[in-house]
Structures are given as C-alpha cells and as structure tokens.
Amino acid sequence: MAIFQNTVVNKYLNNQNEHVLSEKWNIYKTHFFDPKVQQNIRDSKEEEYQEGFMRDLFVNVLGYTLKPKDNYNLVLEKKNVKDSKKADAAIAIVENS
C-alpha cells in the first residue's frame, strides 16, 4: 500500500522547479558521486561523519539552516519528547519571539 495517493504525488511533482532540482542534483552528484569522498565516507566511523553528512546533504544540497545560525531549521542531537533518546538530527519549526 502506498503512503500517498498518486494524485497527491503527481500534484507535488508537477509543482517542482526543474531548474532548482537540476541545480541541487548537480551539487549532490559533485559531492556524493566523487570516488574519493565515497571512500572517505566508507572509511569513517558513523560519529566522525555524522555532522558532516548533515551539513553536506541537508545544508549544502537541501538548503536547511543548521543551529546556531539565525532562523535555523535543523538541529543536531535532538532529544525525543516521547522517550528522551536522542535523534542524530531533527528538522525543526522554530518560532522567533
């Protein structure tokens, strides 16, 4: 069973800016398809590349802003409300007062 109905998926796919998608895809490919980068990632422990991955993908490719910058929407090591365990990162909605 699909998570979203095809009409919903198609609605959002049709509203994407192809120029922006192409630009972001090129940024992604340039970094993550580089054989040296791939090898360095494979050779790294999870903790060594965790912050780098968040920055490389979520900040540099997807355009999120990492805390502590103003108007951030990406937080590292966020404690879960339910069980107090920590997630590696969380996309946040922050209301500025």
Residue 3 lies in a domain: no
Residue 2, domain member (yes or no): no
C-alpha R_g of the chain: 17
For the segment 41-49, the average pLDDT, to the nearest whole number, is 94
pLDDT of residue 77: 87
CA dihedral 16, 89, 94, 13 (to 10 degrees): 10
Q: pLDDT over 90 for what percent of the chain?
A: 71
- The pLDDT assigned to 55 comes to 95
Mean pLDDT score, 17-43: 96
Question: Is there a domain that residue 97 lies in?
Answer: no
**Residue 74 buriedness (CB in 10 A; 0-12 / 13-18 / 19+):** buried
Average pLDDT, the chain: 91
Tell me, what's the pLDDT at 25?
97
Residue 8 lies in a domain: no
Is residue 45 packed enough to be buried (19+ CB in 10 Å), middle (13-18) or exposed (0-12)? exposed
pLDDT at 96: 58
Query: With 90 as the cut, is the pLDDT of residue 80 above it?
Result: no
Total domains present in the chain: 1
pLDDT at residue 40 tops 60: yes
- Domain contains 46: yes
Residue 28 resides in a domain: yes
Show the DSSP H helices in 1-95 as ranges: 6-14, 18-32, 35-43, 46-53
What's residue 94's pLDDT?
Answer: 66
Q: Which domain holds residue 70?
A: 16-91
Distance CA 59, CA 51 (A): 11
